[in-house]
A and B are shown apart, each in its own frame.
Chain A
Amino acid sequence: MADGKNQSLFKDKPVKVLLAKPGIDGHDRGMFVLARAFRDAGMDVLYAGLLPTPEEVVDTAVNEDVDVIALSLLNGAHMVVFKKVADLMKKRGITDIAVVGGGTIPDSDKPKLEKIGVSGNYGPGTRLSIIIDHVRERAAEARKKKMGSE
């Protein structure tokens, strides 16, 4: 039987996002705001917990089969920590989960992050709708790869 065009009821399960603040960073309020915004945009949102290591973030993302890992850091450690996550993904050959970043990231670091696959990199005060659209876009790419790789 041919699959229908609109399989929304069964096939298009909501975008699944893992929110994580790896490394030492005490600011959690922003994460809750994001979590709620993602949920209200129809996504399934997971929260990686307090101070997860990059390994834990990647483990959780794989076990939960998320589409997107959304990393956030306000302490300036992004070049180390985001890179660690991206490296782990690469090492494990994970290509069907997208990584987006956010936090206080100087413009000069953004291209470097993009290059290792961490996109977005929005600063505090960015409109939520912009972040949501970006996550959706990356999720669609990831989902396509998931379907293709099965």
Chain B
Amino acid sequence: MENDLYSDRALDLLKGIYPSTGHAHVVGITGPPGVGKSTLIGSIVPLLMEEGKKVAVIAIDASSPFSKGSILGNRIRMQESLTKHSVYMRSLSTRGLNGGLSFSALGTVKILDAAGYDTIILETVGAGQSDLDIMRLAGTVTVILAPGLGDEIQAIKAGLMEIAHIFAVNKSDRDGAFQAIKDVQDILMTSMQGDWKIPVVGTSTVTGEGLRELVAQMERHASFVPSVKDRGSVLKNELSLIVESELMKMFYRSMENDRGVTDIVGEVSDGSMDPFTGSRRIISAISEKINSSATTLP
């Protein structure tokens, strides 16, 4: 499916299933590499299933900036749990493609939602704009940190504090966990997401500590979410994601097919046109194309 989510056929499919979506609770799990996100997902999946929920997991691994290939290592951390509970999981790679990735994730979420999954867990490494974009797909964003890495500071820098609804300090079996939880609480002292007071939960996949509380907080937030304003902002995010990716699609298609556009690209590459003028020209070439095809749109 993510092969050609950019095809018109894929968009038609998504449009078709859209009325059957909106039921799933999308839980984002993000945070620095190595804090135990994948392992933690493996540990909370059974707790969600115990409550009769149908659970799916989408996990995103970073592609190598050089080869664009990736080792999709998240799965292996939760494989045992996935197998035991027959959980659907899909691994995606970032492929060095920002807008495209978010759209793949959006499409996959919608399909799982329409297929009747109750909880869809989305794992990303909380780094960079594309990761933040993906987290905008989640109704409940959980940021995972671990003691002793100075993660709290990183999280603030990376903009994770602004999007978090729940914090978990994982590896609470380790030294320094108590202090780390306290540090996060201190930083959060004044933070609210609307009327929601952001909880900080200590968890350990080794001892099992805090796992139930984490799940309970996720569910508490799920029932807290659908304020009209929040629902509106999720929909608005979806819309801008789709528009962004549609525009990108048009841009790349015309870079490949459209003589007018390839000529401009040529002129910019050989230095005879400045890139600002070039960009304006490309945009007007694309919008002309849209205008002329507008009459033929359904």
Q: Closest residue of chain A to B3, judged by CB?
A: A13
User: In whole angstroms, how far apart are the Cα atoms of A11 and B104 in the complex?
Assistant: 11
Would you call B227 an interface residue if the criterion is a C-beta within 8 Å of the partner chain's C-beta atoms?
A: no
Do B69 and A38 touch across chains, with their CB atoms under 8 A apart? Answer: yes
Asked if A9 lies at the interface with its beta carbon under 8 angstroms from chain B, I say yes
Distance of A65 Cα from B218 Cα, bound (Å): 29
Q: Known contacts A11-B3, A45-B71; is A4 also within 8 Å of B97 by CB?
A: no
A107 CB–B CB distance under 8 Å: no
Chain A residues with Cβ under 8 A from B75's Cβ?
46-47, 49, 60, 64
Give bound CA distance, A62 to B35, whole Å. Answer: 29
Q: Is the CB of B89 within 8 A of A63?
A: yes
The total of Cβ contacts below 8 Å across the A-B interface reads 92
Q: Select B69's contact among A7, A42, A143, beta carbons within 8 Å.
A: A42
Are B73 and A47 within 8 A (Cβ)?
yes
Restricting to A1-60, which residues have a CB under 8 Å from any CB of B?
1-7, 9-11, 13-14, 35-36, 38-49, 52, 56, 59-60
Is A145 part of the binding interface, using a Cβ–Cβ cutoff of 8 Å? Answer: no
- CB of B93 within 8 Å of the partner chain: yes
Hey, which chain B residues are within 8 Å of A10, CB to CB?
Answer: 4-6, 100, 249, 252
Complex CA gap A7/B83 in Å reads: 36
CA distance A143 to B249 in the complex (A): 21
Q: Contacts of B70 on A, CB cut-off 8 Å?
A: 14, 39, 44-45
Q: Does A146 lie at the interface of the complex (its beta carbon under 8 Å from any beta carbon of B)?
A: yes
Question: Is A47's CB under 8 angstroms from B71's CB?
Answer: yes
Contacts known (A5-B256, A9-B100, A146-B3); A14 close to B95, Cβ less than 8 A:
yes
Q: Is the CB of B1 within 8 A of A65?
A: yes
| Segment 89-121 of B: residues with Cβ below 8 Å from A | 89-91, 93, 95, 97, 100
Of residues 233 to 280 in B, which have CB atoms within 8 Å of A's CB atoms? 249, 252-253, 256-257
- Are B83 and A41 within 8 A (Cβ)? no
Bound form: Cα–Cα A2–B253 in Å: 9
Q: Report A61 CB to chain B, min CB distance, Å.
A: 12
* Chain B: minimal CB distance from A108 (Å): 34
Is the Cβ of B88 less than 8 Å from the Cβ of A63?
yes
Chain A residues, CB < 8 A from B3: 11, 13, 143, 146-147
Partner of B71, one of A1, A39, A52: A39
Report the bound CA distance from A113 to B65 in whole Å.
37
Q: Check B91 against A39 for contact (C-beta < 8 Å).
A: no
Task: List B contacts of A44 (CB < 8 A).
Answer: 63, 69-70, 72, 91, 93
Q: Which residues on the A side are within 8 Å of B183 (C-beta)?
A: none
Cα of A114 to Cα of B265 in the assembled complex, Å: 48
Residues of A close to B72: CB separation below 8 A: 44-47
Q: Which residues of B contact A (CB under 8 A)?
A: 1-9, 63-64, 66-73, 75-76, 79-80, 83, 88-91, 93, 95, 97, 100, 249, 252-253, 256-257, 293
A-B contact pairs, 26 of them (CB 8 A): A1-B8, A2-B257, A10-B252, A11-B3, A11-B7, A14-B68, A39-B69, A39-B71, A40-B69, A41-B67, A42-B69, A45-B69, A45-B71, A45-B72, A46-B72, A47-B71, A48-B79, A49-B75, A49-B79, A49-B80, A52-B79, A56-B83, A63-B90, A64-B75, A146-B3, A147-B3
Interface residues of chain A, those whose CB is within 8 Å of chain B, are 1-7, 9-11, 13-14, 35-36, 38-49, 52, 56, 59-60, 63-65, 143, 146-147, 150
